[in-house]
Amino acid sequence: MARVNTYLNFMGNTEEAFNFYKQVFKSEFISVTRMKDMPRPTGAPELLDSDAEKIMNIQLPITNGHILMATDALESMGHKVLAGNNVTISLDLDSEEEAQHIYSHLMTNSSENSGPLAQMPWGALWGSCLDQFGIRWMISYAKA
């Protein structure tokens, strides 16, 4: 089933923030994936030991079926969290065709070259892009 989620970026304190949100919303994490749990892409810089326990992805239901998701930006990889890149609209879609259609149209007049949707290690077709209005989107489709 398709759903819309809010995806947040933090500078290394995702776990602290989400433990707070867990109390606020009286909810339990759906999943927690740490940086060390993900395979490193070919040619990617080595993951520092100090970053291994940082959050790659965390998911928490907050209200009315809405899922709050987040990741830690890694200073060691040159990441910076600023107003404008700290919140992303994430769409989990019902078909590859819908994912391709929405992604390609969001890329219209974009100043960012995000490349095409790609198959990810977690089994989903996935991509992230910045639209012409400066809004960041994540598009995902995973076969049921």
Compute CA 129 distance to the chain's CA centroid, rounded to the nearest angstrom: 11
Tell me the average pLDDT of the chain.
Answer: 90
CA 8 to CA 88: how far, in whole Å?
6
Question: Does pLDDT of 133 surpass 80?
Answer: no
pLDDT of residue 4: 85
Is residue 68 scored above 90 in pLDDT?
Answer: yes
1 pLDDT higher than 80: no
Q: In angstroms, rounded to a whole number, what is the distance separating the alpha carbons of residues 73 and 38?
A: 15
88 touches 137 (CB < 8 A): yes
Rounded to two decimals, what is the model's pTM? 0.73
Q: Which residue has the higher pLDDT, 85 or 56?
A: 56
Residues forming beta bridges with residue 6, ordered by sequence position: 68, 89
Once rounded to an integer, what is the mean pLDDT over residues 89-112? 91
Answer yes or no: is pLDDT of 111 > 90. no
Domains and CATH numbers, the chain: 3-40+51-141 (3.10.180.10)
- Which of residues 35 and 1 earns the better pLDDT score? 35
pLDDT in tens, 10-60: 999 999 999 999 998 999 999 999 999 988 888 888 899 999 999 999 999
Q: How many CB atoms are located within 10 Å of the residue 121 CB?
A: 10
For 69, the enclosing helix (H) or strand (E) is: strand 66-72
Using CA of residue 20, residue 140, residue 116, residue 56, what is the dihedral sign? positive
- pLDDT of the residue at 113: 76
Question: Per-residue pLDDT for 83 more than 80?
Answer: no
Residue 140 makes CB contacts below 8 A (sequence gap 6+) with 90, 91, 92, 93, 99, 124, 125, 126
